[in-house]
Amino acid sequence: MQHSLQYTAAKLDRADKLRRSDKEISKLWEHHQCRVVPVYNNKHLFDASDQPVLPLAAELSRQKINTSARSFLGLNDGVPYFSIVFDATDAEQLQTRFAGSQFCDLRTLAAALNSELASILAYARGLAHWQRSSGYCGRCGGRNKLVAAGHAMQCTQCQSQVFPRTDPAVIMLVEHTNDHGVSRCLLGRSPAWPERCYSTLAGFVETGESLEAAVIREVHEESGIVVDNPTYVTSQPWPFPQSIMLGFVASAATTDITLDPAELADARWFSVKEVESFGEWADASNGYKLPRKDSIARFLIDRWIAEQQQNQ
């Protein structure tokens, strides 16, 4: 059954104008309800019940935990939210302060999280990754410093600025109805994935390329399949580490598969009945497995199954 698309439900007011005023940012940090999203090594702090730990800013100050590397995320119902990238020492201190907590990969827990919270955590993760990978100026090699409340980097030598980067990637559910009237979808497996884990095809949009052209090119490059009529469905922020996934469906004009082994270890056509028998990504079974429930790949597959069931 089709599920909602995770990481897309943030109601945060990003309040761009406030980022420009150090005075306003300081006032927000001093707000009595100000919340912090801790980030360490691309992970978030979760309690023993697998719920995010979002401490009050004032509490961290009382504990004398270093909060200098903070970034303003926005306002949620008037409550300021900041993210902080912690080093190993402060991360350990946080885990000690919140007994039973640990830093975990968001993707392993996201499917069961409140959608708004998952969206905020993903936002914080993406911003943190960009900050860590943008420490030096691409023009002169000088050291960058955080400005605009964490949303820009400015070179300390030539003063040039860079901003958070998002790489567009297309992801597509390719379908075909055979001569017997059976609708099938094309799923593939990356060489890096566990055995029998399959998903929709995907790839990055290249310079000077439309989204539709990227769909056609990526499917043909990876599987040898020719597709036409790419139709946009929806998008999903994907800060793992810095992408946005642009979801499409496309019809296959050919069905013979010729793999690019550098991109896919396998690709196959599957019927609705076959896909319905798949297990989950982390299952210990030996059967085929679907992508994780937090992904747009899973959303596109579930959407296709639901549509085929309605047409029966």
Is the Cα torsion angle 107, 112, 115, 117 positive or negative in sign? negative
pLDDT tens, position by position, for the chain (312 residues)? 345 799 999 889 999 999 999 999 999 999 999 999 999 999 999 999 999 999 999 999 888 888 988 999 999 999 999 999 999 999 999 999 999 999 999 999 998 999 999 999 999 999 999 999 999 999 999 999 999 999 999 999 999 999 999 999 999 999 999 888 889 999 999 999 988 999 999 999 999 999 999 999 999 999 999 999 999 999 999 999 999 999 999 999 999 999 999 999 999 999 999 999 999 998 888 899 999 999 999 999 999 999 998 887
Which part of the chain is CATH 3.90.79.10? 167-311
Q: pTM for the full model? A: 0.93
* Fold category of 16-133 in CATH: Nucleoside Triphosphate Pyrophosphohydrolase (3.90.79)
User: In this structure, what token pair is assigned to residue 123?
Assistant: 């936002």
The pLDDT score that the predictor gives to residue 180 is 86
The pLDDT score that the predictor gives to residue 1 is 38
The superfamily CATH assigns to domain 167-311 is Nucleoside Triphosphate Pyrophosphohydrolase (3.90.79.10)
Helices (runs of H) and strands (runs of E) counted in the chain = 9, 14
Distance CA 123, CA 117 (A): 10
The pLDDT score that the predictor gives to residue 253 is 97
The pLDDT score that the predictor gives to residue 285 is 83
Closest to 29 in 3D by CA, of 86, 83, 98: 83
